[in-house]
Amino acid sequence: MKAGRTANKDYFKDITYWNTLSGNTADRSFVVHGGNQSQQRPAGRLVGYENLDPVLEYLV
């Protein structure tokens, strides 16, 4: 989870590294941030903390 409201490509740096190690894919990678917009990025999905439904689908 990131506190910033503005998306930053560095948000995905650690997730990209983890995906390389684990074989996880970008469609199952999320960064939850303090903003309210959600966006699909090449390394994963940026999700606003008020819209966690896409993340919760993978946790259940």
Range of 54's domain? 9-59
Percent of the chain with pLDDT over 90: 32
Give me the number of domains the chain comprises. 1
Residue 3 lies inside a defined structural domain of this protein: no
Q: How far apart are CA 41 and CA 21, in angstroms?
A: 19
Q: How far apart are CA 39 and CA 45, in angstroms?
A: 6
The strand ranges marked E within the chain are 30-33, 39-41, 44-48
Residue 2 lies inside a defined structural domain of this protein: no
Q: How far apart are CA 51 and CA 36, in angstroms?
A: 7
Distance, CA of 25 to chain centre? 11
pLDDT digits (tens, 9 = 90+) for 3-18: 666 677 788 888 899 9
Percent of the chain with pLDDT over 70: 90
pLDDT digits (tens, 9 = 90+) for 2-60: 566 667 778 888 889 999 999 999 999 999 888 888 899 999 999 988 888 888 888 87
What is the end-to-end Cα distance of the chain in Å, rounded? 19
